[in-house]
Structure 1
Amino acid sequence: MSGALKGAEIRVERPAKTLRELALDKVREAIVNGYFRPGDRLVERDLCAQLGVSRTIVREVLRHLESEGLVANLPNKGPIVAELDLAEAKQIYEIRGALEGMAARLCAERGNPNIVSALEASLQSIRDCYRDNNMPGVLSHTTAFYQTLFTMVDRHVAWGVVNLLTVRINHLRSMTIKTERRGIEGPAQMAQIVDAIRRGDGEGAQQAAMDHVAAASAIAEAVLSAQKPAE
């Protein structure tokens, strides 16, 4: 047996995710899903105990989440869950509306039935998750819906821009999807996007996508405005 072959047999495979990455996923998920709420202090000692990781990893996780806009580091207070800012939220929805409207129009103009099938599959999963009160699932399948919208028409750069905002977008979505009737109205609005794409109606698809974002923006604005007096 050759030395090269022996080396291959004993090579240690890198795990799918490092401990730091797993801890990052857990804390990000806890913030997005509302386990940690805006303004909550993130005490390193407590996080170490809850996650079962070292303080070094916790500090790296908090720094990363600060770069994503989910954590703020306040003088004399330390890390807290960042407050959702209304002005910033409006900008995020403006970007979403422009890019998602463009992607929907291109999907309609492409005339590819595989796009419709993929979108319908994600939409059905979203409905199923709403029915089961599985809000993390709603977020996951909604992201998949929009990833299809962009990548099936080769708009990977635009998806990259949206994906950079996905954490903040999901932070807002985690708030809007829990509001009354959103589990009915949200999927119905997304179905209008799919229907327009199926018909090859580019203008209709673009408008439906922008209307869906506008509805979400209005809900977010109402919720965030209502929270202000309590702050």
Structure 2
Amino acid sequence: MRVRADSETFRDKATNTIREAIMSLHYRPGEPLIERHLCEETGVSRTLVREALRLLEAEGLVRRENTRGLVVTELSPDEVRDIFDLRLILESTLLRRFIAKANKEDTEKMSRLLDRALDAAERNSKDYTSFISRFVHLIWAGGGNEVAVQILDSLQSRINYVRVMLFRATTQDEHRITIGLLRLVTQSVADGETNAAVDTYCRYLKRAEDRATGIIEGRKASRLDIRATKTDRKKG
């Protein structure tokens, strides 16, 4: 986690380093973020750590709790549903606009990214999430609505967090299903079949939403079971 010096500002590097540590679950949901420990792990000053935490709080990856200070955000099922509700509205519109002007080069680029995502999935490489993200960003950029993209960009850290969480909890067969859905989207874009592309893309988003909320609810139930077991032992 050590921060290295180069052309990027130390604040940005500290922010990116802590962000990556949260994404990789080095710091787990609900875990307190102690400034002194972060300084020791990153090798930067407390002032830079504080600035980094403020930025990550604005991104929604960190939140302040009255009794515990800053902790890693633990998304609730309702928050995940809200994020995906907004994604469905904005991304379906961006996809329709993207299809209206997409060309062969665009669909070939989409196919190449899915090929690389499949290869990464077969190797169980976290690069899988990067290729899926780049696929989605092609649609965002090609939709021609800067305001919509700005709104989605403001959710980018939480979207990536959910994406990494899903990758860690998903089998290779499930990755293949995801890639299969996005290949259908790509083919529909190539064929100019707007409604089919949007319907399939919405299926892709809804599937991700259901799986993400299921994982979070499962974690919560597991913690409650552990607490109940500890309570029973104390009573016993």
Note whether the superposition's TM-score is higher than 0.5: yes
Which AA in structure 1 matches 2:24? N
Q: Report matched runs for 1:18-167 at 5 Å.
A: 18-135=9-126, 137-167=127-157
Aligned partners of 2:60, 2:88: CA distance in 1, in Å? 21
**Cα shift readout 1:14-55 (whole Å, capped 9, x = no counterpart):** x53101101101111111222211011211111111101011
Aligned partners of 2:155, 2:10: CA distance in 1, in Å? 24
Runs of at least 5 residues in structure 1 that lack an aligned partner in the other structure: 1-14
**Cα shift readout 1:82-140 (whole Å, capped 9, x = no counterpart):** 111111110111111122222222333324112102211222222222122221x2222
Which AA in structure 2 matches 1:18? T
Aligned partners of 2:142, 2:57: CA distance in 1, in Å? 32
TM-score (norm 2): 0.86
1:3 counterpart residue number: none
**What secondary structure does 1:41 align onto?**
coil
Q: Is the Cα contact below 8 Å between 2:94 and 2:144 reproduced in 1?
A: no
1:118–1:155: structure 2 CA closer, same or farther, 3 Å change rule?
Answer: farther
Runs ≥4 in structure 1, deviation > 6 angstroms?
none
**Alpha-carbon offset, residue 58 of structure 1:** 0.8
Higher RCO (C-alpha under 8 Å, 6+ residues apart): 1
2:161 counterpart residue number: 171
Q: Is the Cα contact below 8 Å between 1:115 and 1:149 reproduced in 2?
A: no
- The RMSD of aligned alpha carbons is 1.6
Aligned partners of 2:78, 2:107: CA distance in 1, in Å? 34
Name which of 166, 175, 199 aligns with 2:191. 199
1:10 counterpart residue number: none
1:9 counterpart residue number: none
Aligned partners of 2:159, 2:104: CA distance in 1, in Å? 28
Q: Is the Cα contact below 8 Å between 1:106 and 1:202 reproduced in 2?
A: no
Which AA in structure 1 matches 2:51? E
Runs of at least 5 residues in structure 2 that lack an aligned partner in the other structure: 1-5, 225-236
Query: How many equivalent residue pairs?
Result: 216
Q: Is the Cα contact below 8 Å between 1:147 and 1:159 reproduced in 2?
A: no
Which AA in structure 1 matches 2:195? E
Aligned partners of 1:194, 1:102: CA distance in 2, in Å? 16
Aligned partners of 1:226, 1:176: CA distance in 2, in Å? 13
Aligned partners of 1:120, 1:57: CA distance in 2, in Å? 41
- Percent identical among aligned pairs is 28
Aligned partners of 1:16, 1:114: CA distance in 2, in Å? 34
Name which of 181, 194, 197 aligns with 1:189. 181
**What secondary structure does 2:64 align onto?**
strand
**Cα shift readout 1:44-92 (whole Å, capped 9, x = no counterpart):** 1111111010111111111111111111222232211111111111011
Aligned partners of 1:166, 1:45: CA distance in 2, in Å? 28
Which AA in structure 2 matches 1:141? F
Aligned partners of 2:11, 2:145: CA distance in 1, in Å? 31
